[in-house]
Structure 1
Amino acid sequence: SDTGTGTERAAQLRRQQAARSAARARKVRDADPARSALRRSVLAEVVVAAALLTVTTLLTGSQPGRAAEEQKGLADAPAASSSTAPAGPSSAPGASGRIALTIPYDTGGPKGRGTAAFTLSPARAGGANQIGLRLTGPGGAPVDVPEVRVAFTLPAQHLGPIQVPLKHTGTGDWTAAAVQLPLAGTWQLQVTVRTSDIDEITQTRNVQVSP
């Protein structure tokens, strides 16, 4: 009928107008440089993100194998060895139970060179040990210095340093009585000589203390 034909024709015209409007909108949108650049930027970011995701996935998948190889290499590597250098020559008590050491020193200052003669008797743990210390200059004559200190450390037992108070008994001479070293073993003896306000040196020697 004419009425049905008119209605269909009107609907067709509306669809054509909508299509033309959409085409004009796309044309206007495509003509905007900023909007086109934005679309290209978004597209580029999407491509980069996809590439990064792919690379990350590949690396994650290969990491366990790499970690296994590293662990295998560590397991196959030889064990490292360690050693501790001695502090100095080791001295054991003689037949009389007495240790005697000659310790050269040089503090680097004026009149800073000399020799410390150290004795420890009877060099036994838990007993009353006697210490003697004499300082002599290069010519062998006794010399006094502003300060002398003696200390003992037992590294194997993490014990010390045990400071020993010394008594000045004469020119170049210091002594200490009733010195207690609680354990037997290899003790480190530290003898510190100070010849001025700034010139000082500490010499270390190993001494064997008997049970």
Structure 2
Amino acid sequence: MTRKLAPGKLVIASHNAGKVREIRALLDPYGIDPVSAGDLGLPEPAETGTTFAENALLKAHASASAAGLPALADDSGLEVAALGGRPGVYTADWAERQWFEGEPGKDWAGRDWYMAMGKVEGLLAEQGPGVDRSACFVCTLALAWPDGHAEVFEGRAQGSLTWPPRGTLGFGYDPVFVPSGKPLTYAEIDPAEKHAISHRADAFAKLVAGVFG
């Protein structure tokens, strides 16, 4: 049986400002007082997992242990069908600059997401104009307690990739992702609407049913 989460403080195990902002909005109705790992000065553990769940659990357990509070971690990424599911768990890594591309990013703010979107588009372009442009955003949430207990919830959002990037409202790969049934990219959609249809919203609906239901 899923462990219930009591109202009170919860560490959001992330230093990604855009991700923290989305999670805060989703938690707002449930009496949760979220504080980010960045605000607490907690270190970011190395994401050595090979799946979204493994990385989410690594981050959640690290923050829960360091803060002595329940902690929620999110590991998410873009899976592109024509690229065999890449970049997948390495979604953020594709935005890290190499030595020949400039100074490597030290944190989320130092990543070059336009470069990352360009890498994906370049690999698709190599396959010709008829390439399958379908893609899926995946979000895995791990909720961990200081005693080591954890729960995991996964959400998905199907869509397709467009080029060039469009919109300024999102972050990461949002400007090239068009969710199924919509004409706009994630970065063109009002944030409140995105919260309702995103991969993170899907994962949160499962978390809410499990730990708040």
TM-score by length of 2: 0.22
Which has the greater radius of gyration?
Answer: 1
- TM-score relative to the length of structure 1: 0.22
Q: Which of the pair is proportionally richer in strand?
A: 1
